[in-house]
Structures are given as C-alpha cells and as structure tokens.
Amino acid sequence: MSNSHPNWTATAQRIEISTRFGALPLVIAARSGDPVGTVLLVHGRNGAPDQAQIAEIAEAYLARGWRVVAPELPYSAALPESGPADRVTFSGHIDAARAAWDWIAREWPHGSRALAGHSLGGYAVAQLGAGADAHHVLAMSPVLSGRALLLAREAMGQGAIDEVRREAPAYFAEMQVADAAPALHRMTAPLAVVTGGADGLIPLKDAHSYFDAAPNARFFAALPDEHHCPAGEACARVLSLALSMLEA
C-alpha cells in the first residue's frame, strides 16, 4: 500500500466483471460525477492496484478529474485470490487487461479512454494501444521485450535468471519472443514514459527504446535514484507534468 496515498483503493468501488477467463475484479474511483475520461491502469507482474507506484499514477489521474479503473489481474503474488503466481504469462496479462479495456468501452462508450501501466503493465498497454482509439498512453518503468528483461537479469547475475525461471516458467518461456516494439510502432496515441534512473530491471536505455519506438512520443522522464517502482513527491510532480504534455 502506498504511504503517500493510502486510501485510494480503500475508498474506491470494487466490482467483478465476467470474462472468458472467469471473474475479474476491478477497482474503480472518480472524484467527479462527470469525469474527463476513463483510464485503464494496469499493474505489473506480482502487482496490485494498492501498490505505491500504482497509487501515484491513480492519484495523478484522479487529481485531473479522470475516472480510474484498475484491474486485479490474474496470477499476482500480491493478490492471493488471483491464482498461482507461477502461472503468469505475458499473453495472459494482455488478455485480461484487454477484457477490462473492452468493458470500459461498453460501459462508457462516448467518453475518452486512456491507457496507463507499470512494468509488465507497460508492455500490456503498448499492445492494447496499437490501433486503439486511446486518448493517450502513459507507461511507467515499461517492459520493452522479454529479451531486454533477460539481458537486464543477466547483468544482475545468474541468480536473477534462475529466480524468474523458477517463479514463472511459462512467463520465462515467453521472454524469448515477447516484444512490444511492433505494437509501439503502430501506436498513434500520444505516449509518455516515466522511469527510475537507477532501475536495474528496466535499464534506462530500454525505457528510452520503448519511448523512441512510438511515432507520437511526447514526454520522457527518468527520476534520479529511483528504482523499478517510483513513488513519492518527485514522482507525483513528474506524472503531473507528463499528463499535461499528454493534454489529459
């Protein structure tokens, strides 16, 4: 739970929608009866809507009058009811996020829709944003490709490779082929990327490559000394600036 924003999920509505994968919980919040639009906020592997980095993004949107919809995606170690964490995959994460994205389109067909995601959620929103009618896309510490993740883990040492192979074998197998770049090339929505300058899992060059792959990239910021899950006052200021650049 975020120390700076401890209550955003506690005071939000929580519903479940039916998908072909089963029930998918959604955390929904808005601070106005007439929101500017709706953002789908996608957490990463072993993430959850109440984690600090997700709370920072949610608060940035809520402060600007947006409705936030944050799914509790399957197979997260941070969500005990979501299923075994060793079953997480790139493709499954995208498919579950897409179910929430499609539900938003049915629920509010005439409103603006935007995409935001952290880490593996950043990979998912790149895929969803390709060809979609999204107002904009915001990615924090985004995964560019499985290969880039493998190279970053190799730099950390063999133990980092062994850890992900043990914890999520199907996810590890998909790392050989998963690549967000083709989707980013097709994405016409404005893009902003915020990352940690000291992130070892998503090195700065990979975050830059994610940004550079999008034809309508608008804003890039790296927070000094922040790692994979940026949060705090400096992060909040940068997110506000990013949303300004995205005209959100």
What pLDDT, on the 0 to 100 scale, is given for residue 180? Answer: 98
Q: Which pTM value belongs to this model?
A: 0.96
Could you tell me if residue 17 is inside a domain?
yes
What pLDDT, on the 0 to 100 scale, is given for residue 4? Answer: 44
Residue 6 · residue 59 · CB < 8 Å: no
CA distance 123 to 102: 17
In whole angstroms, how far apart are CA 117 and each of 43, 134, 163, 169, 229?
Answer: 6, 14, 24, 23, 12
Residue 216 in tokens: 């309508």
Could you tell me if residue 33 is inside a domain?
yes
Could you tell me if residue 1 is inside a domain?
no
SS (H, E, C) the chain: CCCCCCCCCCCCEEEEEEECCEEEEEEEECCCCCCCEEEEEECCCCCCCCCHHHHHHHHHHHHCCCEEEEECCCCCCCCHHHCCHHHCCHHHHHHHHHHHHHHHHHHCCCCEEEEEEECHHHHHHHHHHCCCCCCCEEEECCCCEHHHHHHHHHHHCHHHHHHHHHHCHHHHHHCCCCECHHHHHHCCCCEEEEEECCCCCCCHHHHHHHHHCCCCEEEEEEECCCCCCCCCHHHHHHHHHHHHHCCC
Could you tell me if residue 2 is inside a domain?
no
Query: Which residue's entry shows tokens 């994968």?
Result: 21
* pLDDT mean by block of 10 residues, the chain; 248 residues: 61 95 96 95 97 97 98 97 97 98 96 97 98 92 97 94 96 97 97 97 98 98 97 97 98
Full domain range(s) for residue 66 = 13-241
**Residue 41 belongs to a domain with what CATH number?**
3.40.50.1820
What pLDDT, on the 0 to 100 scale, is given for residue 6? Answer: 54
Could you tell me if residue 131 is inside a domain?
yes
Could you tell me if residue 5 is inside a domain?
no
Residue 12 in tokens: 């939000």
Q: For the chain, how many structural domains are there in total?
A: 1
What pLDDT, on the 0 to 100 scale, is given for residue 2? Answer: 37
Q: Which of 101, 123, 99 is nearest to 47 (CA)?
A: 123
Could you tell me if residue 199 is inside a domain?
yes
Could you tell me if residue 231 is inside a domain?
yes
Main-chain dihedrals φ then ψ at residue 59, nearest 5 degrees: -65, -35
What pLDDT, on the 0 to 100 scale, is given for residue 131? Answer: 77
CA distance 74 to 244: 32
